Chain A
């Protein structure tokens, strides 16, 4: 059964955004937009999260942080790049300290446009991400998440 779709927990990290997209991500949680209607919870803890919302471009110092958060999330997981900066670097693309969009460091599944991305489009992006999440769940070896042996072999396979 596909319960992942009904209970996506997200984690949000501010790459080097101007805050515009960040407060819009937070605004999604509050009464006007209330994403908990869809079972979406902002966990703030990578180990509990299924969806990684990244706002802002990636720079030299935070690439490790972003990578770290992603690695701590258990499979299956998806990455949503929120806003134009996370997509391509946006207006800051030519700044000396910017590496570029989130896809320089992570495999991005969904790009949400906008500067700043509106809460509606962020929610839309998350919903699109759910379909990707479901695909990834199906692709996961069925016993990988249970048995210790299966997990060990899966890790071996990845390496």
Chain B
């Protein structure tokens, strides 16, 4: 295969992934800024400047690095690298299953970093993060299966060009996925392992022992994460490669994010037992019912393909 043929076949994918790697921090940071503004308004306050998350991260790079050990920083870098890779995989139109595995791996590096710090608060934070993973992973996997059942492919590139929006055939899975998004965005009631505001029994939980540039890297990693999660939500609404459907998807994803902020401000933090139970019940009901109905109605995969 010569270079031209390669570019013709993969050019768009590479471009899209490259754009993601470059622009995601911008989008994620802005999203965080908007989030803090809206949260402040909901609490009767004015809130910080829109660009505050960028100031924070830049500030963290200005601080002298104090780390408990070198291993900790190594894991943080791996966490960031794998999150970037996960997102790039998604934006390059890659395999959803691979995407999920890479995503999980990234999360595991984060947990390892917290364990490496060897302080009670970060250790308990790490334990809770593991519990949270147990809570949301089943739902994420079911969602991938749902996409396959709906469109006949695990490839994001194929799902984009399906005959109709996936949400038409897997609406319950969409709702279930939104439910576990609360875990991933670390919003109340499921901000058990760490919370955006530090008033928690385990201080900052999993991020307690990080400071300066490593904390900044974690923050940037979360921006990447937020960006592809938003894109994942949008994927439910995209069909036939239609640019308008992409816009629709993005719009819905932002509405979902707004609802997450609203939920964050109207719930207390729950304990881990309820978090896991509720996430599994939601996954069990929405996931299995949706897949069952889909199987019965269409009698096989690829209804929209």
Contacts and interface: CB of A to CB of B under 8 A. Distances in A.
Given A48-B211, A50-B63, A74-B64, A36 B56 contact: no
A119 B59 CA distance: 25
A145 B44 contact: no
B65 A74 contact: yes
A43 B64 contact: no
Given A3-B55, A4-B59, A48 B64 contact: no
A47 B64 contact: no
Chain A binding surface, main DSSP class: loop
Contacts of B47: 34, 36-37
Interface residues of B, number: 32
Interface of A: 1, 3-4, 6-7, 9, 30-31, 34, 36-39, 41-45, 47-48, 50, 72, 74-76, 137, 140, 144-146, 151, 154
10 contacts: A4-B59, A6-B52, A7-B58, A7-B59, A37-B48, A44-B204, A74-B63, A74-B212, A145-B213, A154-B64
The 7 A-B residue pairs with the shortest CB-CB distance in the complex, in nearest-first order: A3-B58, A7-B59, A6-B55, A31-B44, A47-B211, A145-B64, A44-B198
B55 A37 contact: no
A73 to B, nearest CB: 9
B64 A76 contact: yes
B55 A47 contact: no
Nearest to A137: B62
B55 A31 contact: no
Contacts of A154: 64
Given A6-B52, A6-B59, 12 more contacts: A31-B45, A36-B40, A39-B55, A41-B197, A43-B198, A44-B203, A47-B209, A47-B210, A76-B64, A145-B61, A145-B63, A145-B65
